[in-house]
Amino acid sequence: MENFDSLISEIVRFRDERDWEQFHNSKDLAIALSLEASELLEIFLWKSNEEFNTDKLKEELADVLMYALLLANKHNLDVSQIIRDKIKRNSEKYPVDKAKGTAKKYDEL
């Protein structure tokens, strides 16, 4: 995978060339992220589990990821680090010996 910093710089450059930063407050970035996630869900609606258009998946997933990266960038968050931190917290909540092979929530293990 490409370095997050390089990718974020490319997204920010695209945004700044269009003078869109003025619209990218935390609230609106979070709303846009949620709306794009809903569009991602829509490609699966009324289809079997793995029946979807791959091109639409790539397009909607890219939108979700771009808004997430812009929100992280706005708050100077290190994307790699916050993901590692979350994996660590989840590994504590979902120890392998209790969570392996089950979809139960941590408080049900």
Q: Helix 54-74 crosses helix 4-17 at what angle (to 10 degrees)?
A: 90
- The whole-number average pLDDT for the span 65-70 is 98
3-state per-residue secondary structure call for 49-100: CCCCCHHHHHHHHHHHHHHHHHHHHHCCCCHHHHHHHHHHHHHHHCCHHHHC
Q: Give tens-digit pLDDT for 37-63.
A: 999 999 999 999 899 999 999 999 999
Sign of CA dihedral 46, 51, 55, 57: positive
Is-contact 11 68, C-beta < 8 A?
no
Confidence at residue 87, expressed as pLDDT on a 0 to 100 scale = 97
